[in-house]
Amino acid sequence: MSAPPAGIPKLYFIAQGLHFAAGGLISVLFPWIIAQQLHETQARVGLSQFLATLPLMLLILLAGAVADGRDLRGYVARLQLTAALAPIALAMVIATGHLSFYSATICLVALNIVAAFIMPARDALLSHITPPHIGLSRTAAMAVAATFGGQLIGTTLAASASTIGPVPLLALQAILLATSGILSSRVPLISEDAFKDSTPTRVARLLHEMRDGVLTVVRSERLRTMILYLVLPGPLFNGMFLVGFPLMVRDVFHGDAPMLSIIISVFLVGLTASSFAMARLPVIEHQGRAMMLLSLNNVFVFTVVYFIHSFPIFVVLMFLWGLSAGASMAVNRGMVQAAAPPVYRARVLSVLQFSQVAGGPIGALLYGFMAQLVGIENALLMVPIATAILWTIFRLTTNLWHFKREEAIAATTAPITLD
């Protein structure tokens, strides 16, 4: 058995960053292809994102059950290499002149089917590379920072779609995913024997394992309350990202791929900056209170967006939204990682991820049809109204405001070192 690493291994975060750089590329390329290249209506832009994100919602819980009991390092690597085939297929469709609403959507559906299985396995692997003296709260914050730092790089690169076209960028996405897979297979573990006796769950047991993951969350007041607070407004925030941004660019600001890239990039700059800050700052004691206070920024940001239709102001507001979202994600991921029983960790994380992606398909349809009926500017007003109502209900009827960090897994405030 090799000696445990003194700090957090770089390879995990490099692989994470590359994986999400590929995700950042497609987050701009796909809506740009649908809205700008194919000139589809608002409703069909929403429909395309609904179909593309549906696999994440339908498969994420199954994926968590499949991941538990596996050698996560090799499993994640194989999935990332498989995911690289989807952008290659879309590039070939475009290069051969067969691009259509359906061909583009089918390729992204295929990519997200594989992505659904990657998500819980990759996050569960985090607990096997985290030295005890650092703690999961800090490594979760570092993982969020690597996630959105990678996405920022990808969305910045996607700004060139209008000039160089989508095919070279799709080829780059495939390279990033393949490289991420190779690095994931080499991530050093705290104990190299961690997966020695791994036994994948039998197919006949998968539904039972999925149920156990959901029941673990339902029976824990801490997990249940946190995840409900995340899942209920999910359609509004996911829909904004998937459909709201592309339609604001096309219908309000009359821009193209560079403008969409700028909006998503500044949002990710905010996410990344606050995630790095959360990783370096002392662990927050009143984590539930922080989670609720950070969510109030949604009310401020989207109220101003509704009344002021200026692209520079919109960019600033998206940066502020990213700041609060990144800090909130760092807090809630650390809380869930800490509260989840180790044997069910991948399944519990899949429930958290389900809460984050479940709103994608619903939100995409909601924004697409609402934008076609009342305009995208008016559709945005749903965010501050729903957030304020939800905040009030949870403050009055749950203990979320009083949740503190759990002493059993309290992280040290020692600085992080990268090996």
Sign of CA dihedral 266, 267, 270, 272: negative
User: What is the C-alpha separation between 98 and 26, in angstroms, rounded?
Assistant: 19
Based on DSSP, count helices (H) and strands (E) in the chain, helices before strands: 20, 0
Give the helix/strand (H/E) hosting 323.
helix 311-339
The CATH number for 10-186+203-407, chosen from 3.40.190.10, 1.20.1250.20, 3.80.30.20, 3.30.390.50, is: 1.20.1250.20
The proportion of the chain whose per-residue pLDDT surpasses 90, expressed as a percent, equals 29
- pLDDT per residue over 361-409, tens digit each? 888 888 888 888 888 888 888 889 989 999 999 999 989 898 876 543 3
Distances (CA, A) of 304 to 367, 370, 383: 19, 19, 11
Question: Residue 94's pLDDT band (boundaries 50, 70, 90)?
Answer: very high
| Most distant pair of Cα atoms in the chain: their distance | 63
pLDDT one-digit tens code per residue, 236-256: 888 888 888 888 888 889 888
Mean of all residue pLDDT scores within the chain: 82
Give the tens place of pLDDT for each residue, 181-193: 999 988 888 766 5
> pLDDT tens, 202-240?
555 667 766 777 788 888 888 888 888 888 888 888 888
φ/ψ of 256, rounded to 5, equals: -135, -160
Query: Residue 250's CB: how many other CB atoms inside 10 A?
Result: 21
Is the entire prediction scored with pTM above 0.85? Answer: no
For residue 139, give the nearest of 104, 190, 175 by alpha carbon: 190
Per residue in 280-311, pLDDT tens?
A: 777 778 888 888 999 999 999 999 988 888 99
What's the rounded Cα separation, in Å, for the pair 395 and 381? 22
Q: What is the DSSP string of 16-59?
A: HHHHHHHHHHHHHHHHHIIIIIS---HHHHHHHHHHHHHHHHHH
Question: Which structure tokens are listed for 5?
Answer: 């690493």
Distance CA 168, CA 95 (A): 10
Question: Distance between CA 103 and CA 109 in Å, rounded?
Answer: 10
Q: pLDDT value at position 223?
A: 84
Q: What is the CA radius of gyration of the chain?
A: 20
Give the residue-averaged pLDDT of 87-113. Answer: 95
Give the model's pLDDT for residue 17: 93
Look at residue 4 in the predicted model and tell me its pLDDT.
Answer: 40
- Count of CB atoms situated within 10 Å of the CB of 118: 25
Q: Quote the percentage of the chain above a pLDDT of 70.
A: 86
pLDDT of residue 194: 53
